[in-house]
Amino acid sequence: MNKQIVQIKAMSKAFPTGEGEFLALKDINLSFESGEFSGIVGPSGSGKTTLLNIIGSLDVQSGGEVCVLGHQVKELSARESAALRSQKIGFIFQTYNLLPVYTVFENVEFPLLLLKMTKAEREQAVLKALDWLGLSDKQKSRPAQLSGGQCQRVAIARAMVKNPALVLADEPTANLDTENSLHILDSMQKLNRELGTTFIFSTHDQKVINYLRRVIRLVDGRVESDDLQAGV
Amino acid sequence: MLSFLIKGVFRDRHRYLFPLLIVSSGVLIMVFMLALINGYMDSFIRQNAGFDTGHLKVVTAAYSRLLSQKPYDLGLLDIQDELATWKAAYPQLDWVERIHFGALLDVPDNLGQTREQGEVVAFGIDLLSSGRERKLMHLDQALVSGRIPSQSSEILLTDSAFRRLALKLGDPVTLIGSDVFGSMTFRQFRVTGSVRFGVEALDRGAVIVDLADARGMLDMEGGAGEILAFFRNGSYDQKAAEQIRDDFNRRFGDMETASSGGTQTGKSAIWEEETASSGGTQTGKSAIQSESSAIRDEYAPVMLAMSDQNNMGYMLGMMQYLLAIFSLVFIFILGIVLWNSGLMNGIRRYGEIGVRLAIGESKTQIYRSLLIEAGAIGFAGSVLGILLGLLLSAYFNLKGMDVSVFSRNSSLLSEDIIYTSVSLKTALSALIPGMLSTLLGAALAGMAVFKRQTSQLFKELET
C-alpha cells in the first residue's frame, strides 16, 4: 500500500474582499498517495491554483487541516515552508520560468545549491536529470536558445533534480503545441513510473487530462468529482 | 552559491551596467575630488610653511602675541648660541632664520630724485650661504626675469611691483624703514630680478633681500624676527609638531622652571600660574594666548606649531571636516540613485525572484543574495572608478589645474596652480563609500522582497 503524502480534511480558504470574504475553497477532503499521477481540473476561478498553492506550502488554509509530507502547513514558519519546498517539492510552471542568464546546466543545478550539496554531487545529479529528459547536448545552452518544449523539459529537470517526493505542475502544457505537450507528458509519466515521484497537476487541457490516472474536478471551490481513469 | 550569484550578475548587462556606471562614475568623482582637495591641502600647507609659518616657528613671547604684525623689533636677538643648542636638541628639523619687515621702496630717477615710491613687505632670508631658502620659497621656479641675488645689496621684487614701478634689471632702489630701536634706516640695493609666486597675497608687493643685509639695515646683528623649523622629510606631521612644540617650550621656554618646581624667577611666574589654573599639562599656545596673565620675560623663546598660527589649525580641521561631509553626501546621493535602480531591477526580476521563492529560497536568503550581488557590483564599480579616478588625478598631478580665478584678491597663501595629490590610500578610501552606497541602495530596494505575498506566486508567474 502506498504511503499518503498529502491529507486534506475539511479545508477551506477565504480571501478578504471589500465587502467581507470570498470563499475560494469549501470543505475540501482529499488525500494523495505517493506515486500518484493526478490532476485538479476545472474552469478558471474554480480554485485549482489556490489548492495547489496550499499543497505547495506557498499559502495556508483558513480552516481545516492540510498535512503535506508529514508537516501541518498552517504550523510551518516561513523558513520551514521554504525548507519544505526546497527539499521535497518541485514546481513546474506554465511559462517555464527559467533563469535566463544561466545555462541549462546551471538552471537545473540551482535547487541543489540550496541543498548545499557538493560540486561533484550536484554535477552527477544534474547530468542524470538532463539525460533523463534528453537534454544532455543542451547543457551549455541558454534558455533563449531553446524551443518552448525544450525549456519546459529543462523546467521539469529542475523540478526533478533534487528527487522530490512531490511535483506540482501548474498548466505545464499551456504554452506548448500538441507534439511538445505529448512529449512533455510522456517524460513526466516516465519519471512517475520509473522514479515513483508523485505528480499533481492543475490543468484544463484535455491532453493532460488524458494522461492522468486520477482526475479531481473542482467547481466553485468544491470537489465535484474524484475519479480514477481506467486504461491510463 | 556566491560564485553562482556573481556569475549571474555579470552575465546580465541590464542588471549590472547601470549600477556599475553610477558607482564607478561616483567613485571616479570622489577619488578625483579627494585628490584635488588633498592636493590643495598639501599646497596650502607647503605654501604657508615655506612662506610664513614653517612646520614650527620660534619667536619671542612678545612677538608671538603680535604675530600677524611681524614686529621685528620684538625679535630674537643674539640667538646664535641658543639656535645651535636647539639644532642639537631636534636633529629631525631644519632651521632657517628670517626677518619680515615693512618698508618703503624708493625708486630714484637719473638725477637721484624720487621717481616712484611704494610700500612693500620685505623678506630678509638667507640667500647667499645656502640654497635652503631658495627651495623653501620656490625662488627658482618663481623667477620671471633676471636672477636670484648672489651677493650682498641685491634685491628681488615681485613681478607686479617690478612692473608697477617701471623698473629695469640693475636699477638701484632704496629700502626705507626703521631699525629695531625705532630709528629711521635705509639701504640701497640693486635689482637683480623679478619673481611671481602665484600667490596673490605675496605677489601684490614683496621684496626679497639677503638676511645679512636685512640685519645690517635693521641693526639686528645675530638676530632674527623669527626662526622657522621644517621636518627634514618635508612633510608636516601635526602630532609630531605639537609634541616638539610642547617639549621645546618645557625645555627652553619659561615652562622649565615652573615644571621643575625650582626657584621662582620672573620668567617662570607666568607659566606656573597658567599650569596651576589649567590643572594639567600646559601647552605653549594656550599659555601665550592667555590674556589673564602678564608675561614678564617678553623675549623668552616660544615655539609655535603650524596649527597655532594664522588659524591654520582651524582651517586644516575644517578641510578634514569638509572631506567627511563630502563622503557622507556622496554615500547618500549615490544610495538614493542606486535605490531607484534597485527598485527598477527588482521589477524586472520579479519573475526570477518568484521562481526562486517557489524553488525553496527563503525571503531572507533572497534578500541576502541581492546584497551580495550589490556588493559585487559595488566592488567592481568602485575598483573601476578608483582606476579611472587615479588616471584623471595623475593627469592633473602632472599638468596641474589653474585655480587663480578663485584666489584672486585673496589674502590666503595658496597657489594658482593646484596639483592633485594622488595616493593609493586616498583612492582606497573611496572604496568604502562606493560599496556602502551600493549596499544601501540594494538594502532599501530589496525590502520589497519581504512585502511580496508568496501565495500570489503562481498567478504572477503565469503572467
Encode pLDDT of B381-395 as tens digits: 999 999 999 999 999
For B10, nearest residue in chain A (alpha carbons): A101
Q: Quick one: pLDDT band at residue B411, thresholds 50, 70, 90?
A: low
The per-residue DSSP string of B230-280 comes to EETTS---HHHHHHHHHHHHHHHSTHHHHHHT----HHHHHHHHHHHHHTS
Burial class (CB within 10 angstroms; exposed 0-12, middle 13-18, buried 19+) of A147:
exposed
Q: How far is the first Cα of chain A from the last one, in angstroms, to the nearest whole number?
A: 19
CA B277-B281-B284 angle, to 5 degrees, is 90
- HEC assignment per residue over B1-51: CHHHHHHHHHHCHHHHHHHHHHHHHHHHHHHHHHHHHHHHHHHHHHHHHHH
Domains in chain B: boundaries: 2-49+310-462, 56-231
For the segment A35-43, the average pLDDT, to the nearest whole number, is 93
More confident residue, B195 or A93: B195
Does residue B17 belong to the interface with chain A, where contact is any CB pair within 8 Å? no
Q: Does A171 touch chain B (CB under 8 A)?
A: yes
Which helix (H) or strand (E) is B107 found in, with range? strand B93-108
Report the percent of chain A where pLDDT is more than 90.
56
Question: What is the C-alpha to C-alpha distance for residues A50 and A25, in angstroms, rounded to an integer?
Answer: 8
pLDDT 10s digits, B66-84: 888 889 889 998 888 899 9
Q: Does B360 touch chain A (CB under 8 A)?
A: yes
Please give the single-letter amino acid code of residue B134.
R
Q: Which three cell numbers stand for residue A110?
A: 540551482
Q: What is the distance between the alpha carbons of residues B157 and B144, in angstroms, rounded to a whole number?
A: 10
Cβ atoms of B8 and A102 within 8 Å: the answer is: yes
pTM: 0.67
- Which residue among A49, A94, A114 places its CB closest to the CB of B359? A114
- CB of A170 within 8 Å of a chain B CB? The answer is yes
Q: With an 8 Å Cβ cutoff, are A114 and B358 in contact?
A: no
Q: Mean per-residue pLDDT for B58-73?
A: 89
Please give the residue that has the higher pLDDT: either B370 or B347: B370
CB contact under 8 A, B4 and A99: no
ipTM tops the 0.85 cut = no
Per-residue pLDDT tens for B174-233?
A: 999 999 888 999 999 999 999 988 777 778 889 999 999 999 999 998 899 999 999 998
Residues in CB range of B177: below 8 A, 6 or more apart = B101, B102, B103, B104, B122, B184, B185, B186, B217, B218
Interface with A, mutate which of B10, B13, B349, B455 (most A CBs under 10 A): B455
